[in-house]
Amino acid sequence: MGKFYLINELVEFHPDEQRLSLYQEENKFIILASPAARCLMLLIEQYPNSVKHDDFYNIVWQDRHGQVPANTLYQNISLIRRGFKTLLGEDQEIIMTIPRYGFKLDSHVSIKTMTYANDIDDTTLSPVVNEEGIQTIKNKKINNNVMLLLSIIIFIISLFFALTNLHGTPAFYQDYSFSKNKKECLIYINPEYPKTLSYDSLQEHSPLSCKSFPYTYISAYNFSSTVSIIRCDRPIESDAKCVSYIYKGADNS
């Protein structure tokens, strides 16, 4: 699965899953929006240096940086700060603002790079220390029903962040790309959408007509068989009327 990061010996950041969680407490976590996760990743990569505003826009939003509203960066930094506060229950100076320049991780922040063992099953998690003192993930059975429940919770939290942004700047959906027009449905998918997953089959489970709710936003990930679908009567960044539902048992293989 790659690597993740242990921040201040308290919080794990898993960039592949856009997840912040308490150290060794898998049931206490939040899911960051894609741009917020990439902002945090950039701060970690550049630590202890500062990151300029322009660098955030160029690296996080890349060729779309010229279309991103000026306050979007600050909104995503705020999401990261709120995530740490939610997990830790208190304000900690994790991200410092450099006036008229950018942001940086506080100099007192500690970061450890953690890696997953190559010879384990994805459903086995148990930290151990390797020869370099870096924590590695080792085998520990996790009940399949618990994994399914975690997947559902992840999507519910994702939907919460999405729906709370419907009447403001839709940061959560800025990275969703238009896929195709299917029977009057305008389908948008998240950047992590599995290439092997067919959304034609997902449409069959939709109780809504494309004529009334043509704008379809689908969220799916390789690490989960649960798919989130939001259907709107107009683009989600406008004053849209939307309905969301979750489809379980998607085949990502």
Digit-coded pLDDT (tens) for 9-20: 999 999 999 999
Tokens linked to 13: 């950041």
| Same domain (yes/no): 127, 7 | yes
| Same domain (yes/no): 106, 153 | no
Give the dihedral sign, CA 190/194/198/204.
negative
pLDDT band at residue 132 under the 50/70/90 scheme? very low
| Same domain (yes/no): 135, 202 | no
Query: Would you say residue 228 has pLDDT above 70?
Result: yes
Q: Which amino acid is at 172?
A: F
Alpha helices in 195-253 (DSSP H): 199-204
Residue 253, domain member (yes or no): no
pLDDT per position as a tens digit, 172-227? 566 778 876 666 788 888 888 887 777 666 666 566 677 788 888 888 877 777 77
Q: What is the pLDDT of residue 236?
A: 75
pLDDT per position as a tens digit, 96-105? 999 999 999 9
Q: What is the pLDDT of residue 55?
A: 94
Q: What is the pLDDT of residue 210?
A: 77
Query: How crowded is residue 29: how many other Cβ atoms within 10 Å of its Cβ?
Result: 21
DSSP codes joined into one string, 145-195: HHHHHHHHHHHHHHHHHHHTTTTS--GGGTT-EEEEEETTEEEEE-TT--T
Rounded Cα distance between 227 and 234, Å, is 21
pLDDT per position as a tens digit, 32-85? 999 999 999 999 999 999 999 999 999 999 877 677 887 899 999 999 999 999
| Same domain (yes/no): 158, 137 | no
Task: Write down which residue in 126, 142, 158 finishes a domain.
Answer: 142
Give the dihedral sign, CA 86/89/94/100.
positive
The boundaries of the domain holding residue 127 are: 3-142
Task: Write down which residue in 142, 166, 192 finishes a domain.
Answer: 142
